[in-house]
Amino acid sequence: MNKEAINKARAVYYGLFASLLMFFENKNDLEVIQKTIDILAQNPLDDESKLAFSNMQNLLISGGYTLLKEESDTVFFSPYSAFIPVTASYFLENRDDGKKRLEMVNYVLSSNFRRDTEKFKEMEDHVGFIMLFMQKMIEEELAGNEKSAQLSREVFVNILNPFVDDFIGALYIHEDSHFYQELAVIMHSFVALERLYLDVKKPVSEKEDQAPKVYTKEHKKPRKPLTPRPKKNFEEFVL
């Protein structure tokens, strides 16, 4: 197993997720996003990811920044569409600014990484910030920082893993999700691979009546059920 190559690929994936899950305010971000998608599309995790990357490329070619910005606003911020929580606290405690935020703050304080409050106004347990933190920790691991490797694993196990499936599911079936539906497909395959790589089990789902109420409108029917498709050959998980 080429651990360095795998970690480089993991960092790129987390960077893409962070870029797409945080608020868009700079058109220049689109160029970086497109380049990252083009790179990852050359070696997708599975057939579903391959199709999803292709669809994302076509959507960005036809709609560009405007399409991405408008869909992001509709999916994550519009009061007239289904509500998707974006914090670990909400998914796991049914409220924002809960214990998971404090837990995430402690992880950040244990690292060399700090939240830039001028550029990122959301909480530390915002899914976009968690993805960005994972990317930074993996990059520091690649630079030889073993503590960062441990931190990234702890954040995945204790923060991201318990709620990421519910977040991906919400993103996938949102009635106005098109580009982000494709992202959900890719995240689904990536998380399955992360669990395999980090030797972490998928959490047992809570009973439906105990889960947070994440939707307010009728959902469109998924194209087909998402099924775990972990890639078994890690040597192929490179850029």
Regions of the chain short of the pLDDT cut 50:
212-224, 227-232
Structural tokens at position 177: 């999700």
CB 22 within 8 A of CB 214: no
pLDDT of res. 117: 81
Residue type, 92: L
pLDDT of res. 236: 59
pLDDT of res. 17: 97
Residue type, 63: G
pLDDT of res. 207: 55
pLDDT of res. 130: 97
Q: Where are the domains of the chain?
A: 3-200
pLDDT of res. 215: 45
pLDDT of res. 219: 46
Superfamily of domain 3-200 in CATH is TorD-like (1.10.3480.10)
Maximal C-alpha separation, the chain:
48
Q: How far is the C-alpha of 231 from the C-alpha of 220, rounded, in Å?
A: 29
Instruction: Please tell me the pTM assigned to this model.
Output: 0.87
**Among 169, 182, 189, CA closest to 45:** 189
